[in-house]
Amino acid sequence: MNIDGVTTGIVLDHIKAGKGIKIYNYLHLDKLSCSVAMLQNVKSSKYGKKDIIKIDELIELDYEMLGYIDSNITVNFVKDGRLLKKEHLDLPETLTDIIQCKNPRCITSIEQEIEHVFKLVDREKKTYRCAYCDVEHKEYK
Each residue of 60-107: pLDDT tens digit? 998 999 999 999 999 999 999 899 999 999 999 999 998 999 999 999
Cα separation, 74 vs 61, whole angstroms: 12
Asked if 110 and 75 sit in the same domain, the reply is no
Asked if 56 and 121 sit in the same domain, the reply is no
* CATH number (domain holding residue 121): 2.30.30.20
Asked if 48 and 16 sit in the same domain, the reply is yes
SS3 breakdown of the chain: % helix, strand, coil, rounded to 5?
Answer: 15, 40, 50
Asked if 82 and 15 sit in the same domain, the reply is yes
Which pLDDT value is given to residue 15?
95
The rounded percent of the chain whose pLDDT value lies above 90 is 73
Which pLDDT value is given to residue 138?
73
Which pLDDT value is given to residue 6?
83
Which pLDDT value is given to residue 105?
93
